[in-house]
Every structure is written in C-alpha cells, then in structure tokens.
C-alpha cells in the first residue's frame, strides 16, 4: 500500500491491514512525532492532519488513507523555520513533558482553519470565533496532564495573529 | 564568584529541549527503532483473587514468537517489590495483574493473540472495599515516605472535650490515577549479558539497579536510556512491570521487544493514589486559637505490598497546637497496589485539614484568612501577599449570598505546604575546548525543566553563558542521581552540579566529580515550602455545574531558579488540584474488584475548557542553609491545598459542604 506523509510517498509492503494510521507512522515509517496516549481516540496525543483536517490517527486504519495527504508534526514549518503555532508554543512555554505537544500543535492548526471557515463551536455566541473561551473549547479534545493549558491559549492566539 | 553579567539562575530561560519537543524530534521510550523488533502484549487477570492453572493459546495465531506465563517463564530474582516478580507464582493478587505475555512480530498480532488466549483460573472470593471499620485494619509501623504512622503530643482527647468550639468531620477521598500522557513503556534488548532498556521512568539509576537485581546482573550491566519522559507524577518513580516484561520477552526471543502498556492497564499495574477516609477533629478557644487536633486516616493497600498514603502527616507540620494526635490505619485488600501520586499524603490530607479549618471558621464566625493568620504564623507573609493579590479583603463570610443570573458565586482559601528535601546524587563536570563544559548526571526531565535549570546552575558556577554548557541527563551510565520525585530533583541534582563545578574551578584540571551523600546526611531537617491557594467559583443554580472562575497560588519556595518553568510547575499542580476537587475519581465495581472507568474517556481530568483565569506568584527569597542554590522544591505544592480552596469556595457559593470527593454536581442538588 502507499501512504503520502509530509509530501513524501511511501510504499509499505506486507502491512497488516489492522494497522492504524498512528502505528503505520510510528512503527513503520518511524515518524514518532504523533504520540500514543490512549489508542482509543480519547486524549488527542495522536492528532495529525488528514487533507488539512485534524483527526485522531489511532482511530483510522492506514489502508483506508492511500489517497490522502497526511501531515504530521515533523512536516510542519519550513527548513529551520517553525510553523507559527510551533513558534507560539516555544514563545509561551506551552508544554512541559512534551508528550501531548505534537497533537496539540496539529490540533491547533486544524482548529484555526475551522475557525477561519466560520465553523461554530459549542460556545459560539458572536462573530469572535477565536476568543480565549473559543480556543479553550475548540482545543478540549487534546488532553494535557501537566496542565500547560494556560500557556497554550496565548500561544495559539499569537499564531492566529491576535 | 559569579559575575552579574552571566547570572543565569533566576532568568526565565526557555526549555533547552523546546525545539525538539515542538517538532516531534524529542524521543520517548517507545521511539527507538530496532532491527527485528518484536512487540509484547500483556494478558491481565480477569479476577481479583485466585489461582492460574493453565494458559491455552490458539495455535492458529500467526506471528506469535512466545507466550510466557508462570508455567514456562524463566526464574527471576526477588526484589523489595513483589509486583516485579512477574510469572513467578500461580497466585492472583488483584484484577489486572499481568498473568501472561504474548510476544509477536507485530503489534497487531500480539494484541490479537492476547485477546483470544484462554486462562484456566480457579477464582476465589475477594475483598475489595475500604471501610473505616474493616475488621482486618491495622496500624502500620510507618507510612510514606517512611515516617511513623502515629504521633502525639499533649492530650488531644481531653483538650477536644473541653474546647469551646469543635469541628468533628469525616472527609472521603476517592482512588486517583496519575495518568501521565505517555503510558509506561520499555524497549528492551540484550547485548550478550548486557541489558539495554529504553524506559519511561523518573529514576534511571534506580531502574538499572532494580532490573540488575531481577536478572542477577550488576547494575553496571544494565543500561537505562530515559532521554525524554512524558510525565510521571510519581507513577514512574520505580521500575514497573513493563520493564521486566520487555527484558524477559527479549531474553526468551532473542529480539528487541517493545512493551508499551495500554492506557487501561495503567489503572492496575503502575500504582494510584489510595482512597482515604479521614476523621478529623479540631478544637479551638472562642477567640479562634487552636487547642487540639486529632487526624486519623483509614486507607488501603494491596495483598502484595504495604504502601500507606500518609494523609495525617501534613497535620503534624501546619499548625503548632499543644495537643495533637495523628494516626493511620490500613487494610490489605485484593486490589492493585497504591503508590506515589503527586504529593502523596499531603494532597489528600490537606483537603481534610483545610476544609475542616473552613468549617471551624464558620462555627467561630471568623474570617478563614484571619483564622490561618492567627494559628499559622510561619505562613503569615505568604498569606498576606496572596490575599492582597487575590483581593480577599472585604469578603462577606456568609454562604449562599451572591447570585448573578443562573450562577451562585463564592470564594475560598487554603494553606499549602510541602517538605523541602534533597537526596544523595553525584555529578561530573568536564572542561571541553573553547571554554565549553559538559555536565553529566543521571537525572531525568519529566517536563519539570530540570535540564534547563541544571544548565543555569552550572553556567553561573563556571561563570560562562548558558550556551557553553552541554547537559547530559537521562542515562543510567552517567553519575548516579536520585529519583525525580518528592519535589527534590533540583535541590538534589543542583547541589551535586554546584559541587562539581566548584571543585573544577578550585582544583583546576579537565574533570571534577562531586557526590553529595555526606552533605545531604547533614542537611537541615523539617524545612518546608509553604503557600496559600485562593479560589473563586461559580455554581449553576440550574444544573449544579461548578466552574472555577479564578484560581491563585502564592508561594514561598526559597529561590526560584527559573520563573518560566517554575510557573508551569505551580500552575500544573494547581490544575491537577482542580481535577482532584471536581473531576477525578476511579469508581470501584465491588463485584468485579476493578475500577470501571479505566480510561481517559471515563476518568475525567481537567481539559482546556476547565481552566479559566489561573495565576501564581511567589516571594523570591533564597533559603539559607538548605542547599547551595537556596531553593525549595516546587513540583508538588500546587496540588496541596488547592482542592480545599475550591471546595471551600463551593461552600461559600452554595452553602453545601461536600465531604465526599470529587464535588460533582449531583452532590449539590
């Protein structure tokens, strides 16, 4: 089967059809940026972008995504230059142990795109789709046990240019 | 001497590993590719007590290399932790105990084979419920971290009987699970008689020694690599069964074996905070001077291992009272073993003590802040500074008075305290070319900022910019370090690094090694970091939903080595404290002897949406005579007292006292 990740096409021979996208990335392509926190779509640590939309890669079978563009944390930014969300996390100390961080960053990028398209969230009341409250609500699928949340909100706000 | 120009300690230096962590380059235990890697999957006992007679595997399962259980597993040497003696006996001591290991050439094959395995088990009746009047309860000799279970001064009973005002209440805290985001994981590989472990833990030196014992090897034949750790919160302080299982699987198959625990297995195999039933009585004079406290904790441990959550110990240190009695009783149940979880003892104990103090203030008609000021003089400065920053003055003490639309609002406060300690460690400093230095110590950085802080300490001691310091940690082959636990990491390792740097500067040469064992033995006892937490909550009159509108922590923790990473530690502790007050609870199914909500969908931890306004501040003053940096640990104090501040605010908002945690909305309606 084939898998396109961060712009590069990979051919995986003899891949077990039960292999999740997360395990294909981590165990077969050695792209370990996407993390396994629960393997059940409950924590968000495995979040990657699939054709630009954020998904839990532990809940997707790799074999079903042969025509998709997968973007992982390793594929963000340009050579030597971090993506604005990555830069925001660095500037605001938006992490401690770092294990949820790649998922938080990919999720934030997907979320900013959703807000940019005008998609509402459960707390949307007006046109401001990126207030701190909106950011917190929209990011709540990504757990952080260290409790670095208060530093992630300004990191994401900065990346959004606010 | 350190010149002001190069002073790094105290500066908000960004984490050295930040770029690696935001780009996915930072490697955690299960992220080291190996040739011919095999994968382990555990089979856990479905009963809480019994005997495993046979394991039957399906020969049709492909790609399985071996299935290990007590019927065919190699002999392992005993350690002081019976849970590391995997597959050495037919006895089942708790539901979730690993009883077999499948090793296969792929993760998918190992998982499938483990799912279809048949266990022939003779189940026995189990006993899994904690009760304060359990007939098998006993008073242990000591409680965590090896302090007497019982203490007493004066005559608490008589003093309580004659006190003008008393509070006599029982607080119940549920079992809690550490749940670091990175599950416990190991990749093991044998290189001849040498064992190489990529392992997620808080103590590489200790893991190497323990695994050496298990496999009958000297510690130096075990090489533990722990470059980055995805949190631990106490649950990775000692070797867990995943390390032994990986090494065992690798020994038998001759391949590198990856053993990452599924999230669900972490609820039984890596420890938890034991539930407590705490009976606390406080006596005071009419003008609010404490005369007596009696704090008795009932808790549980497993059949395998005695670990006693020391919830009454904190009461020995906070309020100096003439008549004080504290004690613990424990019952051994057919349940998983409790272990360290962030501020073991202090966190649950401070809930009972500081909520009871709030109840006393209410009885006395006193302001809760004034009651603390009167009785805890050591905390006066931090209390006053915190109260001012939070805006406590002018607070109407009467509960259930403030409502805005749907929401009742209220404020609460509580003290915080945590012992300041250091443990023996050794560091090595080498002079490299171009005025650069390598600092090496087998410490770990769980997200605390340890790597960065040690570089700052070394830079100042060697009088060079931080960029000239190359830090090597996270490897058991480096000089021996103590555990990243008990809020002692920076003090312990920083002390060793300071010593090595000073030795190098005074003696000259290319290298200096410094061991703090003797110095630590003479350290000042009984020092604490202290603080105060303040909370404002709003509670929906319609649904009972509790929201923490503001949470503030004010600390006196000696010299703050890096305000950027310190702030993260304080806030992270407070947020976990919020979880303890409002969200977290492992729910027992007595029929099955297990916690039913054993995953991150059902075990609720705080999310982004739960954290609104939160802040921390500190009195930044070096503590002399404690360690050369003048610092005190800060990793745990944020979870001590913050739950009580929130619960006291909930009472102030609603008039309802919740003494059975967590404070869920159904308890308010």
Put simply, the answer to whether B24 touches A34 (Cβ < 8 Å) is: yes
Give how many domains chain B has, as a whole number.
3
Domain of B329: which CATH number? 3.30.365.10
Query: What DSSP assignment string belongs to B296-319?
Result: EEEEEEESS------TTGGGGTSS
Q: Are residues B517 and B543 in the same domain?
A: no
Q: Is the pLDDT of residue B524 over 80?
A: no
B503-510, Cβ contacts within 8 angstroms, sequence gap of 24 or more: B503/B429, B504/B429, B504/B431, B504/B462, B505/B461, B505/B462, B509/B431, B510/B430, B510/B431
Q: Are residues B90 and B165 in the same domain?
A: no
pLDDT score recorded for residue A30? 98
Task: Give pLDDT tens digits for B300-338.
Answer: 999 999 999 999 999 999 999 999 999 999 999 999 999
Task: Give pLDDT tens digits for B84-117.
Answer: 999 999 999 999 999 999 999 999 999 999 999 9
Residue with tokens 């407590």: B276
Q: Which among B19, B599, B611 has CB closest to A90?
A: B19
Chain A residues in contact with B200 (beta carbon < 8 A): none
Q: Are residues B437 and B464 in the same domain?
A: yes
Put simply, the answer to whether B599 touches A42 (Cβ < 8 Å) is: yes
pLDDT band at B3; cut points 50, 70, 90 = very low
Cβ-count burial A54-68 (b if 16+ within 10 Å, e if not)? bbbbbebebbebeeb
Q: Does B7 touch chain A (CB under 8 A)?
A: no
Is residue B31 domain-resident? no
**Which of B269, B302, B332 delimits the end of a domain?**
B269
How many Cβ atoms from other residues are within 10 Å of residue B589's Cβ?
12
- Complex ipTM > 0.90: yes
Put simply, the answer to whether A140 touches B448 (Cβ < 8 Å) is: no
Q: Which among A102, A137, A148 has CB closest to B24?
A: A102
Query: If you ran DSSP here, which 8-state letter would residue B494 be given?
Result: H
Is residue B133 domain-resident? no
Strands (E), B156-314: 165-173, 185-191, 194-199, 222-225, 257-260, 276-284, 290-302
Put simply, the answer to whether B181 touches A146 (Cβ < 8 Å) is: yes
Q: Which among B22, B33, B565 has CB closest to A82?
A: B22
Q: Which residue in chain B has the smallest CA separation from A134?
A: B609
Q: Are residues B110 and B237 in the same domain?
A: yes
Put simply, the answer to whether A99 touches B18 (Cβ < 8 Å) is: no
pLDDT score recorded for residue B1? 42
Strands (E), chain A: 2-5, 8-11, 47-50, 53-56, 69-71
Put simply, the answer to whether A97 touches B262 (Cβ < 8 Å) is: no
Supply the range of the domain harboring residue B67: 38-125+179-269
Q: Is the pLDDT of residue B395 over 70?
A: yes
CA angle B513, B517, B518 (to 5 degrees): 105
Put simply, the answer to whether B181 touches A35 (Cβ < 8 Å) is: yes
Put simply, the answer to whether A149 touches B179 (Cβ < 8 Å) is: no
Q: How far is B361 from chain A (nearest CA, A)?
A: 32
Query: What DSSP assignment string belongs to B53-100?
Result: EEEE--TT-TTEEEEE-TTTPPP----S-GGGSTTS-SEE-STT-EEE
pLDDT score recorded for residue B669? 83
Q: Is the pLDDT of residue B5 over 70?
A: no
CA angle B418, B424, B426 (to 5 degrees): 130
Q: Which among B107, B229, B569 has CB closest to A23?
A: B107
Is residue B137 domain-resident? no
Q: Are residues B414 and B476 in the same domain?
A: no
Nearest to A139 by CA among A116, A118, A110: A110
Is residue B411 domain-resident? yes
Tokens of B423: 């443990």
pLDDT score recorded for residue B60? 80
- Mean local confidence (pLDDT), B198-203: 98
pLDDT score recorded for residue B2? 43
Query: Is the CB of residue B208 less than 8 Å from the CB of residue B194?
Result: no
Q: Is the pLDDT of residue B554 over 50?
A: yes
Residues 6 or more apart from A161 whose CB is under 8 A from it?
none
Query: Is the CB of residue A70 less than 8 Å from the CB of residue A123?
Result: no
How many Cβ atoms from other residues are within 10 Å of residue B2's Cβ?
13
Q: Is the pLDDT of residue B6 over 60?
A: no
Query: Is the CB of residue B440 less than 8 Å from the CB of residue B204?
Result: no
Give the gyration radius of chain A's Cα atoms: 16
Q: Which among A16, A42, A135 has CB closest to B601?
A: A42
Q: Does A150 touch chain B (CB under 8 A)?
A: yes
Is residue B30 domain-resident? no
Q: Does A146 touch chain B (CB under 8 A)?
A: yes
Average pLDDT value over all residues in chain B: 96
pLDDT band at B605; cut points 50, 70, 90 = very high
3-class SS of residue B153: strand
Chain B residues in contact with A26 (beta carbon < 8 A): 30-31
Q: Is the pLDDT of residue A77 over 50?
A: yes
Task: Give pLDDT tens digits for B9-58.
Answer: 999 999 999 999 999 999 999 999 999 999 999 999 999 999 999 999 98
Q: How far is B265 from chain A (nearest CA, A)?
A: 10
| Chain A to chain B Cβ contacts (< 8 Å) | 176
Burial of B605 (0-12, 13-18, 19+ CB in 10 A): buried
Chain B residues in contact with A155 (beta carbon < 8 A): none
Q: Which among B22, B565, B606 has CB closest to A89?
A: B22
Is residue B78 domain-resident? yes
Q: Does B11 touch chain A (CB under 8 A)?
A: no
- Mean local confidence (pLDDT), B642-664: 98
Q: How far is B6 from chain A (nearest CA, A)?
A: 22
- Mean local confidence (pLDDT), B610-620: 97
**Which of B499, B521, B543 delimits the end of a domain?**
B521
Q: Are residues B319 and B399 in the same domain?
A: yes
pLDDT score recorded for residue B62? 83
Q: Are residues B376 and B402 in the same domain?
A: yes
The DSSP bridge partners found for residue B616 are B553
Q: Which residue in chain B has the smallest CA separation from A43?
A: B600
Nearest to B195 by CA among B174, B220, B164: B220
pLDDT band at A79; cut points 50, 70, 90 = confident
pLDDT score recorded for residue B522? 87
Nearest to B470 by CA among B503, B445, B435, B505: B435
Is residue B72 domain-resident? yes
Q: Are residues B100 and B197 in the same domain?
A: yes
d(C-alpha B21, C-alpha A156), whole Å = 16
How many Cβ atoms from other residues are within 10 Å of residue B294's Cβ?
22
d(C-alpha B372, C-alpha B416), whole Å = 11
Task: Give pLDDT tens digits for B475-511.
Answer: 999 999 999 999 999 999 999 999 999 999 999 999 9
**Which of B216, B238, B269 delimits the end of a domain?**
B269
Q: Which residue in chain A has the smallest CA separation from B444?
A: A97
Question: Is B636 part of the annotated catalytic residue set?
Answer: yes
pLDDT band at B621; cut points 50, 70, 90 = confident
Put simply, the answer to whether A95 touches B230 (Cβ < 8 Å) is: no
Q: Are residues B155 and B198 in the same domain?
A: no
Task: Give pLDDT tens digits for B448-479.
Answer: 999 999 999 999 999 999 999 999 999 999 99
Is residue B136 domain-resident? no
Q: Are residues B435 and B511 in the same domain?
A: yes
Which residues, numbered 61 to 100 in chain A, qualify as contacts with chain B under a Cβ-Cβ cut-off of 8 Å?
72-74, 76-77, 82, 86, 89-90, 93, 95-100
Catalytic residue among B61, B182, B536, B636: B636
Q: Which residue in chain A has the smallest CA separation from B452?
A: A96
Put simply, the answer to whether B22 touches A136 (Cβ < 8 Å) is: no
Query: Can you say how many angstroms the Cα of residue A150 is from the centroid of all Cα atoms in its chain?
Result: 18
Tokens of B293: 């406290």
Q: Are residues B147 and B76 in the same domain?
A: no
Put simply, the answer to whether A43 touches B112 (Cβ < 8 Å) is: no
Nearest to B423 by CA among B530, B519, B348: B519
Chain B residues in contact with A144 (beta carbon < 8 A): 181, 608
Task: Give pLDDT tens digits for B224-272.
Answer: 999 999 999 999 999 999 999 999 999 999 999 999 999 999 999 999 9
3-class SS of residue A90: helix
Residues 6 or more apart from A12 whose CB is under 8 A from it?
A1, A2, A3, A24, A28, A29, A62
Domains of chain A (ranges plus CATH)? 2-75 (3.10.20.30), 84-159 (1.10.150.120)
Query: Is the CB of residue B516 less than 8 Å from the CB of residue B404?
Result: no
Q: Are residues B84 and B148 in the same domain?
A: no
Chain A residues in contact with B20 (beta carbon < 8 A): 98
Residue with tokens 């006895």: B91
Task: Give pLDDT tens digits for B134-167.
Answer: 999 999 999 999 999 999 999 999 999 999 999 9
């Amino acid at each position: 089967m084939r898998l396109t990740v961060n712009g590069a096409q990979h051919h995986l021979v003899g891949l077990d059809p039960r292999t999740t996208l997360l395990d294909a990335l981590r165990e077969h392509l050695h792209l370990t940026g996407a993390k396994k926190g629960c393997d059940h779509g409950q924590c968000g640590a495995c979040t990657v972008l699939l054709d630009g939309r954020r998904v839990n890669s532990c809940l997707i079978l790799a074999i079903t995504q042969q025509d998709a563009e997968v973007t992982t944390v390793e594929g963000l930014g340009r050579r030597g230059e971090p993506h604005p969300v990555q830069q925001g996390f660095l500037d605001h100390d938006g992490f401690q142990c770092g294990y949820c961080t790649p998922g938080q960053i990919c999720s934030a990028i997907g979320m900013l795109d959703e807000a940019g398209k005008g998609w509402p969230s459960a707390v949307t009341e007006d046109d401001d789709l990126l207030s701190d409250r909106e950011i917190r609500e929209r990011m709540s699928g990504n757990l952080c046990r260290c409790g670095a949340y208060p530093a992630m909100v300004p990191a994401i706000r900065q990346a959004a240019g606010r | 001497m350190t010149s002001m120009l190069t002073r790094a300690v105290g500066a908000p230096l960004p984490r050295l590993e930040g770029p690696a962590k935001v780009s996915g380059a930072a490697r955690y235990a299960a992220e080291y590719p190996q040739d011919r890697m095999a994968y382990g999957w555990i089979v856990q006992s479905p009963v809480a007590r019994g005997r495993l007679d046979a394991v039957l595997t399906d020969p049709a399962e492909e790609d399985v290399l071996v299935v290990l259980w007590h019927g065919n597993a190699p002999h392992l040497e005993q350690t002081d932790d019976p849970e590391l003696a995997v597959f050495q006996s037919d006895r089942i001591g708790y539901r979730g105990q690993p009883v077999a290991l499948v090793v296969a050439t792929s993760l998918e094959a190992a998982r499938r084979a483990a799912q279809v395995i048949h266990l022939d088990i003779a189940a026995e009746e189990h006993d899994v419920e904690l009760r304060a009047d359990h007939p098998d309860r006993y008073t242990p000799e000591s409680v965590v971290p090896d302090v007497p279970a019982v203490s007493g001064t004066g005559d608490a009973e008589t003093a309580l009987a004659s006190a003008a005002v008393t509070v006599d209440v029982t607080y119940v805290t549920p079992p809690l699970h550490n749940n670091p985001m990175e599950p416990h994981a190991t990749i093991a590989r044998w290189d001849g008689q040498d064992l190489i472990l990529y392992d997620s833990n808080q103590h590489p030196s200790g893991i190497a020694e323990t695994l050496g014992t298990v496999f009958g090897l000297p510690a130096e034949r075990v090489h533990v690599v722990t470059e980055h750790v995805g949190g631990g919160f106490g649950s990775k302080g000692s070797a867990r069964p995943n390390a032994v299982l990986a090494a065992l699987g690798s020994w038998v198959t001759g391949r590198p074996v990856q053993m990452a625990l599924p999230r669900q297995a972490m609820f039984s195999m890596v420890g938890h905070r034991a539930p407590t039933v705490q009976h606390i009585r406080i006596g005071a004079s009419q003008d609010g001077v404490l005369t007596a406290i009696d704090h008795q904790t009932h808790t549980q441990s497993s059949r395998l291992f005695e670990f006693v959550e020391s919830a009454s110990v904190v009461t020995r240190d906070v309020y100096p009272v003439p008549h004080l009695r504290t004690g613990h009783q424990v019952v051994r149940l057919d349940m998983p073993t409790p272990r360290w979880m962030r501020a073991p003892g202090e966190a649950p104990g401070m809930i009972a003590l500081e909520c009871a103090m709030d109840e006393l203030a209410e009885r006395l008609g006193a302001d809760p802040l004034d009651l603390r000021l009167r009785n805890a003089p050591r905390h006066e400065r931090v209390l006053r500074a915190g109260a001012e920053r939070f805006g406590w003055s002018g607070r109407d003490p009467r509960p259930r008075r403030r409502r805005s639309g749907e929401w009742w609002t209220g404020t609460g406060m509580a003290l915080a305290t945590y012992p300041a300690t250091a443990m023996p460690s050794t560091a090595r400093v080498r002079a490299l070319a171009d005025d650069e230095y390598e600092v090496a110590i087998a410490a770990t950085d769980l997200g605390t900022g340890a790597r960065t802080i040690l570089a700052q300490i070394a830079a100042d001691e060697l009088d060079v910019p931080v960029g000239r310091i190359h830090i090597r940690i996270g490897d058991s082959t480096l000089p021996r370090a103590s555990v990243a636990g008990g809020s002692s990491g920076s003090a312990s390792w920083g002390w060793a690094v300071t010593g090595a740097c000073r030795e190098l500067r005074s003696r000259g040469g290319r290298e200096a090694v410094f061991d703090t064992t003797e110095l630590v033995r003479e350290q000042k006892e009984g020092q604490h970091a202290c603080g105060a937490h303040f909370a404002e909550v709003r509670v929906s009159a319609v649904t009972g939903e509790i929201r923490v509108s503001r949470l503030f922590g004010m600390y006196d923790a000696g010299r703050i080595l890096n305000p950027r990473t310190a702030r993260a530690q304080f806030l992270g502790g407070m947020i976990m404290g919020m979880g303890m007050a409002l969200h977290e609870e492992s729910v027992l199914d007595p029929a099955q002897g297990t916690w039913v909500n054993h995953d991150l969908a059902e075990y609720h931890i705080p999310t982004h949406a739960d954290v609104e306004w939160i802040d921390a501040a500190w009195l930044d003053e070096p503590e002399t005579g404690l360690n050369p940096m003048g610092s005190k640990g800060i990793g745990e104090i944020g979870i001590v007292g913050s739950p009580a501040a929130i619960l006291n605010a909930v009472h102030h908002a609603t008039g309802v006292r919740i003494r059975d945690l967590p404070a869920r909305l159904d308890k308010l309606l």
